[in-house]
Every structure is written in structure tokens, then in C-alpha cells.
Amino acid sequence: MATTTMTIAKALNEALRKSLETDAKVVLMGEDIGKLGGVFRITDGLQKDFGENRVIDTPLAESGIVGTAIGLALRGYRPVVEIQFDGFVFPAYDQIVTQLAKMHARALGKIKLPVVIRIPYAGGIGAVEHHSESPEVLFAHIPGLKVVSPSNPQDAYWMLQQAIDCDDPVIFFEPKRRYWDKGEVDPTAIPAPLHTAHTVLDGTDVTLAAYGPMVKVCLEAAAAAAEEGRSLEVVDLRSLSPVDFDTLQASVQKTGRLVTVHEAPVFLGMGAEIAARITERCFYHLQAPVLRVGGFHAPYPPARLEEEYLPGLDRVLDAVDRALAY
């Protein structure tokens, strides 16, 4: 397949198809992922092509789905679980934290659990309650779990395949409001390691660090700042556990300023950990405190208010102004 333009949703679909073709031990599980093709159609056509034994429509029971996936992994399979919406993952949180994350260590390395849990996350689609959560930090905090989130079709295609190939459990967060964003996908490329950050835009004045849905907002902020003569560097973290602090450190040593951006609440969020680590690593390079932009410390609001809740261009540029004012 030659380089082609596709949406993130299509790139994820192609990645799942490739993994199913490559490894007979890969199985997909989730609510409505078979005949319907998933709520967002990420698994569209896969049950038809690979059969009901490999693309499995499950009952509406997230704890049971993840528990079954753990059992399959113990028997040598590589289950890929779809959680229909971010807010539905919490019934399975016990299974993920107390079993999936700990089994490898508990068995002194003798047991591997190659389970991928796909979670459409974050807001911006006008959904109802429990359908627009950003729980990524709850998983990144847990030792034994790897946590990643692509922001573009190329990364979606390669990172999902890399996650499925990984022998450790991976929580794969998919930015649902970016599912229909288009970009180039090169299936012949040599992908970067799964847990590396990418500098997607070079700059000199301020580093913006983001992941998933906020990378596009940061690129838009950089374009707006450029019109005023300011040069912003944008780093796509891609991986939330582990975090590629080396790439981020190199950027901050160049710019002297850092603003972290994510949809999740700022309080105890990913930005807080990044701010602490970069302050430790770059204390003598920083010309301003590390600033954080994110959601408010409040439950996600009704759909008509989500634009007031979500970090947007103005809030990112305001933080850039504050960083440059020091």
C-alpha cells in the first residue's frame, strides 16, 4: 500500500487489519465492534473478513471484557479490547489496576500480558454525560501499564500496531474528536519507537508540550503567535507512561520556557509531573516557571458548555504571553 491520505479512524482500522493478518493470536473484543463496526466504526468490516471468533461482540460488561482478555493473554493470545467510551472504563478499573498491571511483577517476570485497551477519550463532540472524560493520568500513575495517545493518522497507524506487538499491557487513548482529521500515512515507513516524543514544529521562544487532541490546538496557537513575531516549538509527547523527557528537555534547553497543554484538569494532571521533572532537569535553563493549561477541576459539563471548559487557542496563547512576560 502506497502513502495515502486517510483519517485517524481509517488509520486505526487499517492498523487493526494489519495486526489481525500478521498474527493469528490477535483477537478483538468489545461492545458492538463486530456487525456494527463500533460506535465510531473503527472496526468496520473486520468481523466480516476475520470472523466472529477473532472480532468478538461482547456483553455490556467492561469488567468482564477486561477479565476475559487477561485470561486470553495468559493462554497466549494478544487481545485488543475496545472500551466504547472513556467514561465506561471505570467498571474495569479494578481488573486493570489490580490484575493487568501487576501480574507480570507478581509472577517475577514469568507471565506476560500483551493486552491493549483502546479508549476513545476527551471531549469536543457534543456528547452526553460519561462520554467525554480524560482519565489518562489515572492509568499513567499505575506502575506496570504503558499509556500512549496518537494525535495524527501516521502515528495512529503505527502506534497501534506497536502497542499490539508489545508484551506489556498498553492503554491506548484515541482522541475521539480527531477521528475524522486527515493526514498522510506511509505504511512502508520505519516507525519511531513507541515511547518517543516528536518535535512537530521547531521554534525558539516557548515550548508547547501536548498530546492527543491538544496537539492540533498547539499547532494552531503557534501559527497565531507567528503572526506576532513569536516562535513556538510544539512537542507531541505521544507516550504518557513512560514519558520521553530527554526530547522535552532538549527543547526546553533551547527555548527556556515550557507550557504544558492537555484537556484533563490541571490539578494533579500530566502537566504537573512534566513541570516537576523539567524544573529538576532544566532549572538553570528556564527563564520562566513551567505553566500549565488544561481543563477546570470540575466534572465535564453538558455539551452546550464544553467550549467554555476545553482549553482553546486563547488560553494557550495567554499562557505563552505570561511565560514571555518573565
Residues in contact with 234: Cβ distance below 8 Å, sequence separation at least 6, in sequence order:
199, 200, 201, 203, 207, 208, 210, 215, 218, 219, 222
User: Which of the following is catalytic: 104, 131, 195, 297?
Assistant: 131
Gap between the Cα atoms of 147 and 271, Å rounded? 15
SS (H, E, C) 179-226: CCCEEEECCCCCCCCCCCCEEEECCCCEEEEECCCHHHHHHHHHHHHH
Q: Is 104 among the catalytic positions?
A: no
Q: Which helix (H) or strand (E) holds 321?
A: helix 313-325
Gap between the Cα atoms of 25 and 8, Å rounded? 25
Cα–Cα–Cα angle for 39, 41, 44, nearest 5°?
Answer: 130
Catalytic positions are 131
